[in-house]
């Protein structure tokens, strides 16, 4: 089956402009159903939770409903494993602070060179406590992480391995299940940045057996909000970051100081509503989770077509360097495509494409250590076309035609 693109695009009002929106890794369009739920919250029960009166009780139910929906998105075992926050950057800083007391001087944390700074900086800050930070480099030829390299840098002092599921530059899907098993066998935990993965494939924290997993809901068709999965067994050991009278078992509130945003947490449930509807239209009736998984199978098929159309064009140029896997049909890449063109400044290319109503981006995308290591930071970085399932082949063809003109 194929996605019903007319239905899909009708769910994203922001697509109703004359722009081809190809900067989705920076932030996706928001679902109408999400906005409707946010409005519903504001107009129906916009009061503080915790009161005895009916509206307050209903507000608490709405908040719980939002957490349950996002638990379904992660395939968490229980809603209490979900922590809400303003962004993935903020949530990883929260996690780093909450874990800080667990580390001793000379303990080691491994981070990767290919990560967004969100999953590097918070851990580097623990050097102040005497924690040693070790970088896991990629294979420069394949531009992929390798377990053989991880094996060489892990020691009996390694407490945590932090890595990205998909680099927001390379677009390559890392084998998180295999990495998690490898890390756990050596007595450490794993923290995964799933921001660049979650819009494209179904997240499944149970199947992968990860300890911590974060994603940005505003890059996954929702509001400017984020969610962090923490395996429930780890929750009691995390420090309370809220009021002093919150005990260690006040989960997950102790990690949401000042309360999570009610309306955005509730509204984010519209993401799961939409995915479930896509799955239902594909004939899946067993459960919302199964419908979500079916939806992402259709999403992947659509994105393979988009990715290969653009990569086929870029491969055909003799002046273009593609980063990540160059095969758009590969099961191990998403529709985030970065490249440079010899003799062309990325900033100037983007500015010229603006005239064609083509929205993409240049720079380092906050993966500065990676772009530095590839030698492009001082050259205005690289170009990135980041697509998702609501993009169309005709939009890709517009990009290709515009590039032909701009790069002539």
pLDDT in tens, 353-383: 999 999 999 999 999 999 999 999 888 899 9
Q: Region 45-61: what's the mean pLDDT?
A: 94
**CATH 3.40.640.10: which residues of the chain?**
34-272
The CATH class for the domain spanning 5-29+288-403 reads alpha beta
* CA separation for the pair 187, 338 (Å, rounded): 36
pLDDT band of 239, cuts 50, 70, 90: very high
Residue 183 pLDDT:
98
Structural contact between residues 264 and 223, judged by C-beta atoms closer than 8 angstroms: yes
> What mean pLDDT value characterizes the chain?
97
179-215 confidence digits (pLDDT tens): 999 999 999 999 999 999 999 999 999 999 999 999 9
Q: Region 85-94: what's the mean pLDDT?
A: 98
Residue 67 pLDDT:
98
**CATH 3.90.1150.10: which residues of the chain?**
5-29+288-403
Token readout for 134 is 């070790």
Residue 379 pLDDT:
82
Q: In what order do the strands lie in the sheet with 361-363?
A: 320-323, 336-341, 382-386, 361-363
Residue 378 pLDDT:
81
The residues, any chain, with a CB within 8 Å of residue 318's CB and separated by 6 or more, are: none
Interior CA angle at 193 toward 150 and 372, to 5°?
A: 70
Q: Region 254-272: what's the mean pLDDT?
A: 97
Range with the poorest average pLDDT among 81-95, 307-321, 373-387: 373-387
Q: Taking 90 as the threshold, does the pLDDT of residue 403 lie above it?
A: yes
Residue 247 pLDDT:
86
Q: Which CATH architecture has domain 34-272?
A: 3-Layer(aba) Sandwich (3.40)
* CA separation for the pair 149, 165 (Å, rounded): 17
* CA separation for the pair 250, 237 (Å, rounded): 12
What CA–CA distances, in Å, run from 318 to 30, 183, 286, 403, 407? 37, 41, 49, 14, 12
Higher pLDDT residue, 249 or 115?
115
Residue 1 pLDDT:
81
Mutual angle of helices 269-281 and 54-74, in 10-degree steps = 50
* CA separation for the pair 101, 106 (Å, rounded): 13
Helix locations, 23-74, DSSP H: 32-45, 54-74
């Amino acid at each position: 089956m194929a996605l019903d693109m007319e239905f899909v695009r009708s769910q994203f009002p922001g697509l109703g402009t004359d722009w081809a929106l190809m900067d989705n890794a920076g932030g996706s369009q928001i679902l109408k159903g999400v906005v409707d739920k946010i409005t519903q919250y504001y107009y129906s029960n916009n009061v503080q939770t915790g009161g005895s009166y009916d509206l307050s009780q209903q507000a608490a139910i709405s908040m719980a409903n939002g957490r349950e929906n996002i638990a379904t998105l992660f395939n968490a075992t229980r809603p209490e494993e979900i922590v809400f926050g303003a962004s993935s950057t903020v949530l990883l800083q929260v996690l780093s602070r909450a874990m800080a007391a667990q580390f001793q001087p000379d303990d080691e944390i491994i981070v990767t060179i290919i990560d967004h700074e969100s999953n590097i900086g918070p851990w580097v800050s623990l050097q102040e406590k005497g924690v040693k930070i070790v970088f896991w480099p990629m294979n420069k030829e394949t531009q992929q992480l390798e377990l053989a390299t991880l094996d060489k840098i892990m020691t009996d002092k390694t407490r945590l391995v932090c890595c990205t599921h998909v680099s927001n530059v390379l677009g390559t899907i890392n084998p998180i299940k295999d990495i998690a098993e490898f890390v756990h066998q050596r007595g450490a935990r794993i923290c995964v940045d799933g921001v660049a993965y979650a819009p494209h494939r179904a997240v499944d924290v149970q199947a992968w057996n990860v300890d911590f997993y974060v994603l940005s809901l505003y890059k996954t068709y929702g509001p400017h909000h984020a969610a962090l999965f923490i395996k429930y067994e780890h929750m009691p050991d995390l420090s309370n970051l809220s009021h002093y009278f919150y005990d260690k078992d006040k989960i997950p509130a102790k990690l949401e100081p000042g309360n999570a945003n009610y309306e955005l947490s509730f509204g984010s449930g519209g993401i799961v509503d939409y995915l479930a509807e896509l799955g239902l239209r594909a004939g899946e009736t067993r459960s919302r989770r199964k419908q979500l998984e079916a939806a992402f199978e259709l999403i992947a098929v659509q994105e393979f077509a988009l990715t290969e159309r653009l990569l086929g064009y870029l491969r055909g140029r003799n002046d273009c360097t593609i980063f990540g896997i160059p095969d758009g049909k590969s099961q191990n890449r998403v529709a985030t495509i970065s490249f440079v063109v010899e003799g062309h400044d990325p900033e100037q290319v983007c500015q010229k494409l603006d005239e064609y109503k083509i929205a993409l981006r240049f720079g380092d995308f906050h993966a500065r250590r990676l772009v530095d290591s590839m030698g492009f930071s001082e050259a205005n970085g690289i170009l990135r076309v980041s697509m998702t399932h609501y993009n169309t082949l005709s939009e890709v063809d517009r990009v290709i035609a515009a590039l032909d003109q701009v790069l002539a």
